[in-house]
Amino acid sequence: MTTAARPSAPAVAVRGLAHRYASGAGDVVALDGVDLHVEAGEFVSIVGPSGCGKTTLLRAVAGLLAPSEGSVAVFGGTPEAAQTAHALGLVSQDPGLLPWRSVEANVRLALELTGVTTDVPGLLARVGIAAFARHRPGELSGGMRQRVALARAIAHGPRLLLMDEPFGALDELSREVIRLELVRLWERDRPAVLFVTHAIREAVMLSDRVVVMSGLPGRMLDEIAIDLPRPRIESIESTAPFAALVDRVRAALRAGAHGDARGGV
């Protein structure tokens, strides 16, 4: 058994993470003293102001960036080991598809790189793009392209899915549809998910837990358990408990924006 395959280990364990970027105008401290835990099968969202270090944090968890300080464990091993064991899937804001390859060929390429085989038509159907298998990315809407990126990220059956504002560029309606589909996919397969978003309602709708970050340097301000029933359905968004949770997340964000995690607005 490799260090990346301990079933009892948390999906993500980040301790004392700090990161500094060197730049001409002086160092930028993007993250400072960040601790974060995601259990196997848990859906955790991170919300925080723009530029607070969310992408930096996700890249550190993915093993794409070596943090200045602190440690990152993924299923008890290094992010690289998790990557090698095909335990990680990543979706970023830009779908990053190869424009000259069809939808199906984009997904197949990702699979070839991992050596995992799967039912590609079935996978495309699960993310609602079966009818577009032969299309090129340029022929699709932004929402459809993000579905392709999602299919590519889950094709090898990762146990941890990292999503960096994946729906940020979509219109509100596409966003609502794709959000519900993500809930359904997650409720079926139950990978751990670390999901970065600006959208508070989206975070509440999707998550088991919402982590609120402060402005630069990014620190963890608060953590709100989303104890809404599952399976989540669209109408949950118009319930009082949903509204109360949205208010709590918003209040935590405001407190952070005012530089005081304890005080009100």
Q: State the residues that interact with Mg ion by CB under 5 A.
A: 54-55
CB of 56 vs ligand ADP, minimal distance in Å? 3
CB of 50 vs ligand ADP, minimal distance in Å? 5
Among 2, 35, 51, 139, contact with ligand ADP (rule: CB under 6 A): 51
Going by C-alpha positions, the residue among 18, 178, 209 that lies closest to residue 91 is 178
Fill in the amino acid letter for 189. Answer: D
Q: Please, which residues have CB within 8 angstroms of residue 119's CB and are 6 or more apart in sequence?
A: none
Cα–Cα dist 186/206, whole Å: 9
Token pair, residue 138, equals 């340029």
Q: Please, which residues have CB within 8 angstroms of residue 227's CB and are 6 or more apart in sequence?
A: none
Instruction: Please tell me the count of residues contacting ligand ADP according to CB under 6 A.
Output: 13
Among 2, 16, 21, 230, contact with ligand ADP (rule: CB under 6 A): 21
Note the maximum CA span of the chain. Answer: 54
Of residues 55 and 174, the one with the C-beta less far from ligand ADP: 55
207 sits near ligand ADP (criterion: CB under 6 A): no
Token pair, residue 251, equals 């209040």
216 sits near ligand ADP (criterion: CB under 6 A): yes
Of residues 53 and 76, the one with the C-beta less far from ligand ADP: 53
Token pair, residue 212, equals 């609120």
Of residues 48 and 95, the one with the C-beta less far from ligand ADP: 48
Binding residues for ligand ADP, per CB under 6 A?
21, 23, 28, 30, 48, 50-56, 216
